[in-house]
């Protein structure tokens, strides 16, 4: 046997003790340590799962489930020009872009003013102004019960074209304004504005 240092100082250090172990024992110990670490990591992941998992995968709801657009009032009625405005109120649970509002009546021209899309943020209701022009008094539905607005909404999840039905108050207000601009006192309808 040659002149070989087997250690130094007070005795064997950890590395030296490890090296002195039989290869089989070292292999088994390594495998056990790896499994224990894996188990601890798994346990940690399981105990912290409720906080960690949904956050990354959660998606905002479709616009139809997070946005409300309700009728407020009719204003600026101009019987001579057959125009008026409608004020609506938009609220949302998630940021949403109102891209378009229209009403599919052939006798009405209804647009959002100003015409650019309106961004609505949670907790910050937004007033929407619709400019309406009666294109023709002929065939104007005077007493429709549930007129709806066709609205295009876009959020982080999807773009949807939806019907918003503002209900009785909106229907009655439309009836009143239609009678004002197209009623008998306005003279015979010409079919043109």
Question: What are the Cα distances from residue 148, in Å, to 11, 16, 86, 105, 182?
Answer: 90, 84, 13, 10, 21
Distance in angstroms (rounded) separating the CA atoms of residues 141 and 100 = 23
Instruction: Render the burial of 13-32: b for 16+ CB within 10 Å, e for the rest.
Output: eeeeeeeeeeeeeeeeeeee
Task: Give the residues lining the site for another protein (CB under 8 A).
Answer: 24, 27-28, 31-32, 35-36, 38-40, 42-43, 46-50, 59, 61-62, 64-65, 68-72, 89, 103-106, 139, 141-148, 160-169
Residue 68 or 81 having the CB closest to another protein? 68
Give the CA count within 13 Å in the CB-facing half-sphere of 173: 18
Q: What is the CA radius of gyration of the chain?
A: 36
Residue 18 or 48 having the CB closest to another protein? 48
Distance in angstroms (rounded) separating the CA atoms of residues 126 and 68 = 11
Contact between 149 and 166 under an 8 Å Cβ cutoff? The reply is yes
Residue 28 or 75 having the CB closest to another protein? 28
Residue 53 or 78 having the CB closest to another protein? 53
Residue 62 or 131 having the CB closest to another protein? 62
Question: What are the Cα distances from residue 70, in Å, to 100, 121, 184?
Answer: 15, 16, 31
Residue 19 or 106 having the CB closest to another protein? 106
Contact between 12 and 20 under an 8 Å Cβ cutoff? The reply is yes
């Amino acid at each position: 046997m040659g002149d070989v240092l087997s250690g130094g100082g007070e005795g064997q250090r950890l590395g030296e003790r490890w090296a002195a172990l039989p290869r089989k024992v070292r292999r088994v110990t390594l495998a056990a340590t790896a499994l224990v670490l894996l188990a601890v990591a798994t346990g940690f992941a399981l105990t912290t799962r409720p906080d960690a998992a949904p956050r990354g995968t959660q998606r905002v709801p479709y616009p139809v489930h997070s946005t409300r657009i309700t009728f407020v009032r009719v204003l600026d009625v101009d019987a001579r020009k057959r125009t008026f405005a409608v004020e609506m109120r938009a609220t949302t649970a998630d940021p949403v872009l109102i891209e378009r509002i229209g009403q599919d009546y052939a006798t009405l021209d209804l647009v959002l003013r100003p015409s650019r899309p309106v961004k609505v943020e949670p907790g910050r209701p937004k007033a929407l102004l619709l400019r309406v022009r009666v294109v023709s008094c002929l065939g104007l539905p005077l007493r429709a019960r549930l007129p709806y607005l066709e609205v295009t909404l876009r959020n982080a999840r999807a773009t949807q074209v939806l019907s918003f039905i503002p209900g009785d108050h909106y229907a009655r207000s439309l009836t009143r304004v239609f009678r004002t601009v197209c009623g008998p006192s306005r003279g015979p309808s010409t079919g043109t504005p």
